[in-house]
Amino acid sequence: MWRFALVRTGQLLVTLFLASVAVFLVIEHAPGDPAQVQLGLSATPAEIAVERRKLGLDASVMHRYVVWLGQALHLDLGRSFATGLPVTRTIVTAFGYTLRLDVLAIVLGIALGLPLGIAAALRRGSRLDAGISAFAALGLSVPVFAMGTLLILVFAVHFKVMPAAGAGVPGQSVLSSLRYLVLPAATLAIPFAAVLARYLRVELGEAMEQPYVLTARSLGLRRRTVVVNAWRNAMIPTITVMGIQVGRLLAGAIITETVFSYPGIGYLTVQSIQSLDYPVVEGVLLLGAAVFLLVMFVVDVVIGFASPRMRIEGA
Amino acid sequence: MAAGTETVLDVENLRVSSGARGERRVLVRGVSLTVGRRRTVALVGESGSGKTLTGLALMGLTPAGTAVAAERLLVGGVDLTRMSEPEFARVRGRRIAMVFQNPMEALNPVLRVGHQFSQVLTRNLGVSRSDARDRARELLDSVGVSDARRRLGQYPFEMSGGMLQRMMIALALAAEPDLLVADEPTTALDTTLQAQVMALLAERREDVGMGMVLVSHDLGLVAEYADEVNVMYAGRVVERAPTREMFASPVHPYTLALLRTVREIASPGTDRLSSIPGSPPPLDDPGSGCAFAPRCSFATAECTAVVPELKGVAEGHDVACVRSER
């Protein structure tokens, strides 16, 4: 277990290093000049040169990367070109918003997808199954921006029961901050539930056809017991797939957060790219990579517990 | 059957069919069996003869989309024909149980064996979990598994096929059922283990006092362990006789051919294996008349005209062949 964790940590550091190099090189070749963006179109070449020096852009890429890396090792990711605030603090704040949104989205997604997937698997070929498959196909094929806009139109514009955008004001009650989460969380939860339901339908359906299910039935076990036993097998591959979904959510739901102007990591990513805010772009992309790898690590640990074969014989 | 032996299985005209009403296909065409306590009745035949399906039908466990019907299906005197699924589930593992062909796939791979014993014992014996643990150890002793405590803490993939089949037998017989359906119980095991497992089944049959339906394609096994043999072909029993009689004086051409394939292996001097030319018809389409007629060297025009009924040729010996009727 500890060896496993150590290996994964090593992998994480190597990946982060490679990702940081890639991000540095790619963003360097993005069109536009951050100094120009900060000063506006009326800035003179002299003013731009001064601004570039101020932002540290006059040094070579290599030099800037080494300086940045040295600071990054102390968890200092520099200051935002746009706001002048430390990137670390900006990112932590945004990630807090994203985390809150995603936890609610995942809880909703599981609460919806798990029972639907199980019901569809146990009644394959029935009308219920067809209905659930239709829901899942819809949930997956309707683009997030359309789903988000639709929810805004219905619940914020027409019925006026939910706020349309933002995250509210600081210091508000839990209940009112929750209100801002409902629509974006639902937007994220629907495709999440759709993937979970479709996957579980197949996996549980296959598990129910395994010989051990016939044996369990021949021994007189209750249907509920038989299904739960089979479900524990079906969850092993399902957890892997859902882990990838969770990892992607935590890296920032760019479209959803943009549609709802929700100040999470996804929104921050878009803003920082638009304003060529190099330090912030670098920061959010690294955070995304780190979070994704971390989630995959957690998934492997969970699967180790769910699958005794992997735990005992090793992956 | 000898007088005075209590009947534990009495099934009359068992049929299994599949498909929707309009295009119903019959797979098992009227099988009747009687099994007495402490007796073993074998179902033999090639793959696809319907013997396994017959075994599953007795358990109410035929695949989805199939329908089972019977004039009579009594296990330990209890009528199973009109039972709902939850009612049937209460009978399984208590009055009737089954051991399957492949023990490596029979247990749930993600649950400890002890947990699976606990689920079965608490359900079928109505004992508490801690009592179930003690009972599980006793049961493992009864099937010759040593070091029971350690074994119960293991997962199925940590054990050999022979060990797992012993565990399956222990689970199936935990509640001392009236009838055990053993479907090719040793086919997936090494030859050296086959005799051990069969001996265990015979021993447990005596201790528990159950009847046994032994589904097998292995005539040697059947000759040794069964009291009565039913030869199945294309979903029907074509010959039924006490084991000794069946091997001494078989009548049906299919039985003759089946026995010849075994005898030539046993007798020296033959260097070519005998086989029955052709292959069995699909279960759902046996053709008109006798299903074996196309492969039968004695077939006449009469054979394709009518389906022969099982008729007695001697005490306890029935044959479904037009030749035996003269």
- What are B305-314's pLDDT values in tens digits? 888 888 888 8
CB neighbourhood size of B72 (10 A): 13
Q: What is the pLDDT of residues B49-72, one digit of tens each?
A: 889 999 999 999 998 888 899 999
Do the chains contact at B119 and A236, CB–CB below 8 Å?
A: no
Task: Kindly indicate the confidence band of residue B268, based on its pLDDT and cuts at 50, 70 and 90.
Answer: low
- CB nearest B97 (choices: A214, A218, A221): A218
Q: d(Cα A126, Cα A48) in Å, to the nearest integer?
A: 68
Do the chains contact at A233 and B157, CB–CB below 8 Å?
A: no
Write the DSSP string, A269-280.
Answer: HHHHHHTT-HHH
- How remote is the C-alpha of B15 from its chain's centroid? 16
Chain A residues with CB-CB distance to B173 below 8 A: none
Could you tell me which residues of chain A have a Cβ less than 8 Å from any Cβ in chain B? 210-212, 214-223, 225, 229-230, 232-233, 236, 306-309, 312-313
Q: What is the pLDDT of residues B201-215, one digit of tens each?
A: 999 999 999 999 999
Amino acid sitting at position B205 = R
Look-up of token digits 């359900």? B123
Answer whether residue B3 shows pLDDT above 50.
no
Write the DSSP string, B281-296.
Answer: PPTT---SS-TTGGG-
Answer whether residue A315 shows pLDDT above 50.
no
Q: CB distance from B158 to chain A under 8 Å?
A: yes
Check residue A79 and report its DSSP letter: B
| Residue B108 near residue B116, CB atoms below 8 Å | yes
Task: Kindly indicate the confidence band of residue A308, based on its pLDDT and cuts at 50, 70 and 90.
Answer: confident
Mean pLDDT score, A39-54: 78
Q: What pLDDT shows up at residue A252?
A: 67
Q: What percent of chain A lies above the pLDDT cut of 90?
A: 25
Q: Which residues contact B27 (CB under 8 A, 6 or more apart)?
A: B16, B17, B18, B50, B53, B66, B235, B283, B284
Give the H or E element holding residue B259: helix B253-266
Amino acid sitting at position A187 = T
Give the nearest chain B residue to A209 (CA atoms): B63
Q: What pLDDT shows up at residue B4?
A: 52
Answer whether residue A110 shows pLDDT above 80.
yes
Do the chains contact at A218 and B172, CB–CB below 8 Å?
A: yes
Give the nearest chain B residue to A123 (CA atoms): B64
Q: What is the pLDDT of residues B62-99, one digit of tens each?
A: 988 888 999 999 998 889 988 888 999 999 999 999 99
Q: What is the pLDDT of residues B129-187, one digit of tens each?
A: 999 999 999 999 888 898 999 999 999 999 999 899 999 999 999 999 999 999 999 98
Answer whether residue A91 shows pLDDT above 70.
yes
- How remote is the C-alpha of A247 from its chain's centroid? 5
Q: What pLDDT shows up at residue B188?
A: 85
Substitution target from A213, A217, A218, A238 for chain B, most B beta carbons within 10 A: A218
Q: Output phi, psi for A291, to 5 deg.
A: -60, -40
Task: Kindly indicate the confidence band of residue B1, based on its pLDDT and cuts at 50, 70 and 90.
Answer: very low
Q: CB distance from B108 to chain A under 8 Å?
A: yes
| Residue A243 near residue A299, CB atoms below 8 Å | yes
Burial class (CB in 10 A: 0-12, 13-18, 19+), B211: buried
Look-up of token digits 């979970």? A196
| Residue B218 near residue B188, CB atoms below 8 Å | no
Answer whether residue A140 shows pLDDT above 50.
yes
Q: d(Cα A223, Cα A91) in Å, to the nearest integer?
A: 49
Chain B residues with CB-CB distance to A312 below 8 A: 155, 158
Q: CB distance from B136 to chain A under 8 Å?
A: no
User: For residues B55, B58, B60 and B61, what is the CA-based torsion angle, rounded to 10 degrees?
Assistant: -10
Amino acid sitting at position B240 = R
Q: What pLDDT shows up at residue A183?
A: 87
Answer whether residue B19 shows pLDDT above 50.
yes
Q: Output phi, psi for B153, to 5 deg.
A: -90, 0
Cα dist. A67→A56, A71, A73, A92 in Å? 10, 6, 10, 22
Q: d(Cα A38, Cα A45) in Å, to the nearest integer?
A: 13
Q: What pLDDT shows up at residue A314?
A: 61
Amino acid sitting at position A66 = V
Do the chains contact at B100 and A236, CB–CB below 8 Å?
A: no
Q: Tokens in use for A56?
A: 């540290």
Q: CB distance from B39 to chain A under 8 Å?
A: no
Do the chains contact at A225 and B123, CB–CB below 8 Å?
A: yes
Q: What is the pLDDT of residues B23-38, one digit of tens each?
A: 778 889 889 999 999 9
Q: What pLDDT shows up at residue B267?
A: 63
Q: What pLDDT shows up at residue A225?
A: 94
Q: What pLDDT shows up at residue A19?
A: 84
Q: Which residues contact A277 (CB under 8 A, 6 or more apart)?
A: A34, A80, A81, A82, A271
β-pairing, B317-319 with B311-314?
A: antiparallel
Task: Kindly indicate the confidence band of residue A16, based on its pLDDT and cuts at 50, 70 and 90.
Answer: confident
Chain B residues with CB-CB distance to A211 below 8 A: 100, 102, 105-106
B272 or A24: whose pLDDT is higher? A24
Substitution target from B75, B110, B112, B158 for chain A, most A beta carbons within 10 A: B110
Q: Tokens in use for A267?
A: 């929104």
Substitution target from B53, B119, B158 for chain A, most A beta carbons within 10 A: B119
Do the chains contact at A210 and B105, CB–CB below 8 Å?
A: yes
β-pairing, B40-44 with B228-233?
A: parallel
> Which of these, B108, B105, B164, B155, lies nearest to A233 by C-alpha position?
B108
Q: What pLDDT shows up at residue B20?
A: 74
Q: d(Cα B140, Cα B156) in Å, to the nearest integer?
A: 14
Q: Tokens in use for B207?
A: 């201790």
